Amino acid sequence: MRMKNLSLILNAVLAVAVIILFWLVLGNKTSETGKKASTGKGVVSVGKLPIAYINIDSLLLNYQFAKDANEALTKRQEESRLTINTKARQLQTEMGEFQRKLENNAFLSRERAEQEQVRLQKKQQELQQMDGRLSQELMQVQQKMSEGLRDTITKFIKEYNKDGKYEMILSNTSSDNVLWASKGYDITEEVTRILNERCEKK
């Protein structure tokens, strides 16, 4: 009986010792984490994670380089469309003239009418091919501009965070990635301002 009581007492003492040891270890880790949060390189302040995000829609809307690139692309699209529309109107006029001549038997021979028809069909095919080629060229230009813009922003972000202030910087487009975040995590305005300042210096 005495041995049983002694065993229970020893078990109780061991349990208390384990709890105290656990508390001491956990308490030290918590303390160290708190210090890192307040003085560590990666975190701005206690309770704030070393994370930020950039609203890409807003950035592209206000970044001068992006606006210039978009304006150049829009101008090229307008020029391509004007070229196609002008040639399409010319072809339409020629086809209308061909139809009038055909109805009035103005062609000297059936062979001459067929030659004109073949010429107009070939011209129509060439116009369709030009439209496809110009559209393809515009897509390539747009892709190249997008890649250049992305590379510029990515390169800047690496330099912007060279002090290791943030462990992660997210891109947010139309609230796709960040449904909600405190305003303190949004660095869009600051990044846009610095990028525009650099753009003005060039």
Spans of all domains in the chain: 1-40, 51-201
| CB contact at 8 A, 200 and 82 | no
pLDDT at res. 47? 63
- β strands within 16-167, DSSP E: 51-55
Predicted confidence (pLDDT) at residue 175 exceeds the cutoff of 80: no
Mean pLDDT, the chain, as a whole number? 81
Higher pLDDT, 33 or 194: 194
- Express the helix, strand and coil content of the chain in percent, nearest 5 each: 75, 5, 20
| Residue 132 C-alpha from the chain's centroid | 26
For residue 195, the one-letter residue type is L
Predicted confidence (pLDDT) at residue 3 exceeds the cutoff of 80: no
Count CB atoms within 10 A of the CB of residue 160.
19
Confidence of residue 78 (pLDDT cuts 50, 70, 90): very high
Average pLDDT, integer, range 156-179? 89
Q: Which of 198, 200, 162, 195 is nearest to 59 (CA)?
A: 195
Torsions phi, psi for 126 (to 5 deg): -65, -40
| CB contact at 8 A, 52 and 166 | yes
**Is the whole model's pTM more than 0.75, yes or no?**
no
